[in-house]
Amino acid sequence: MNKVAQQQRTIGIIGGMSWESTQTYYQLINQGVKRELGGLHSADLLIHSLDFAPIEALQSQNDWEAMAGILVESGLRLKRAGAQGQLIATNTMHKVAHEVQAATDLPLIHIAEATAKAIQEKGLTKVALLGTNFTMTEDFYKQRLVEAGLSVIVPEELARNEVHRIIYEELCQGKFTETARQRYVEIIEQLAEQGAQGVILGCTEIGLLIKQSDSPIPVFDTTAIHAKAAVEFLLTDANLG
């Protein structure tokens, strides 16, 4: 990473899904730039924070075409504002990442690819995945991990439904209870017993509830991993594409 460069590229963040985790992105990316450049440096970034309620309603209706349209327009707005690269600050909405990247023709930092790289660097081969039901059960996310040579396991159906419910009914609404934390810990422990060497917190809100100290196996917080990749993009010319 070029620590002497005073200029950064500009990155656009499609956020608001939920804003609870988008604020963490803002904090972590700025902290990362300051750590690399020092002094009064902060990140050169743009954020378009979407209203999550209409998107959640479309998720319930399984209308991914409409959601793709919303995120494409967001990405185009960020491009018109000067973004040179982009990220979608949510795991689930990476289901429409291809449409966003194709429409904007900007480099897109994919959260699953960044996470797979972080897991590979730790030398792990079998990981558990927690997230929304969309993320845990559909191929748009898991396939990126499999293509990186990882074996992926998810909770059984009742536990998956509970993980999903807590995300939408609690975490995305700023509710972080000890009951929810304990339930997630139990599920992680069960997955560890099934051979998981690490666990992906595959929803950007889960990292607000679960920390490494809660887990018997290594935790991969996708928000932190994604934010780190954003800092690398801002400061490293090699990421220009």
203 catalytic, yes or no? Answer: yes
What tokens appear for 158 in the block? 């009742």
Strand order in the sheet with 85-88: 45-49, 11-15, 85-88
> Of 22, 24, 90, 104, which residue is the catalytic one?
90
Report the distance separating Cα 189 and Cα 226, nearest Å: 25
> Of 92, 135, 172, 203, which residue is the catalytic one?
203
90 catalytic, yes or no? Answer: yes
Report the distance separating Cα 146 and Cα 126, nearest Å: 10
- Reference 95, options 110, 107, 81, 77; nearest CA is 110
Strands 85-88 and 126-130: unpaired
Residues designated catalytic: 90, 203
